[in-house]
Amino acid sequence: MKKYVIGVDLGGTKISTAISTIEGNILANVVLPTKAEEGEAAVLGRIVQSIDEVIVGSSTSIDEIEAIGIGSPGPLDAKKGIIITTPNLPFKNYNLVQPLKEKYNIPVYLDNDANAAAIGEYMFGAGKGKNSIVYFTVSTGVGGGAVLDGKVYRGHTSNALEIGHTTVDPNGPRCNCGNLGCLEAMSSGTAIAKKGKEAVSTNVETSLKKHDTVTSYEVFKEAEAGDEVAKDIIDNALTYLGIGVANAIATFDPEMIIIGGGVSKAGDIVFDTVKKVVNKRCFKSMAESCEIVPAGLGSDAGVVGAVALAIIESR
């Protein structure tokens, strides 16, 4: 009987790999630097190294491993196991699944990192026991994933829930993707920091000017301390986040919306504002039946998500 799975959280700066029981108890984990600049073969080599290390570290053998799950930034083709392209990794139309399948002779599953985190929250985090959840991650960018009626929802090209690139203001600023007024361009930590820096470079009176560098953290901090400019920036960003959440509720009618990522760590101000906007914009019955909660897995979301991916796919 195969009792274990391996999860690999593949990021631009680090590869985090864990071995877990089928119930989700992590036995060993390893973090290695990605060193993306060294190219495709070198990164693949480090993924293999991390897998080998967790097997040794947990005193198990490859014969006891049911499957490997990999969460990676997209866009990617989950069905074919191909990473199409992504800014912080060297892979271009690269089949990551095939060489790992050949080496270990067990099933290997690849998915978008936000999807993997959504599966992790659904199985082991804030969404445990729920049937349908939509997950938002709000940090440098805005991403999302969904588990609907107990099944991962990936869409036709396996890139569904690119929630950060839904338009929330057609006249808004240009997003990195090229579109105008994306949720990511309005509500991400990067967008909040950008507005803070813009304010500092004008004649407006704001306590943000006392900071050498302004990130979203400083904007939240000064807003909390009562700075009107910072308060406006935060209120604006979170109002648009609320619109994004209201749109997801109207589209998917989930039991729960889970919000993770750096911005969610600002706490009550985030959830109070989002809930206020949702109550204003959603059908009352849908708004009332959908909980909006912070993510439960914290900084382990990526690797626990990759573990959860391996478990859910091998059932």
> For the residues 214-234, what does the mean pLDDT come to?
97
Q: Write out the E strands in the chain.
A: 4-10, 14-21, 26-33, 65-72, 76-77, 82-85, 92-95, 108-112, 133-138, 142-148, 151-152, 256-260, 291-294
Burial of 202 (0-12, 13-18, 19+ CB in 10 A): exposed
How far, in Å, CA of 228 to CA of 192, rounded? 14
Q: Is the pLDDT of residue 234 over 80?
A: yes
Nearest to 119 by CA among 78, 61, 176, 171: 78
Q: Please tell me the total number of residues recorded for the chain in this structure.
A: 315
Q: Is the pLDDT of residue 255 over 90?
A: yes
> For the residues 225-254, what does the mean pLDDT come to?
98
Q: Is the pLDDT of residue 1 over 90?
A: no
- Nearby residues of 184 by Cβ (< 8 Å), 6 or more positions away: 141, 142, 164, 165, 175, 176, 177, 190, 191
- 4-112 adopts what CATH topology? Nucleotidyltransferase; domain 5 (3.30.420)
pLDDT at 176: 87
pLDDT, tens digit, 9 for 90 and up, residues 126-138: 999 999 999 999 9
CA dist 281 to 185, 247, 254, 287, Å?
Answer: 21, 9, 16, 9
pLDDT, tens digit, 9 for 90 and up, residues 147-197: 999 999 999 888 899 999 999 999 999 998 899 999 999 999 999 999 999
pLDDT, tens digit, 9 for 90 and up, residues 203-213: 999 999 999 99
pTM, full prediction: 0.92
According to CATH, where is 3.30.420.40 located in the chain?
4-112, 126-294
> For the residues 283-298, what does the mean pLDDT come to?
96
How far, in Å, CA of 11 to CA of 13, rounded? 5
Reply yes or no on domain 126-294 having CATH 3.30.420.40: yes
How far, in Å, CA of 225 to CA of 240, rounded? 22
Q: Is the pLDDT of residue 88 over 90?
A: no
Strand, helix or coil at 102?
Answer: helix
> pLDDT averaged over the chain?
95
pLDDT, tens digit, 9 for 90 and up, residues 93-125: 999 999 999 999 999 999 999 999 999 999 999
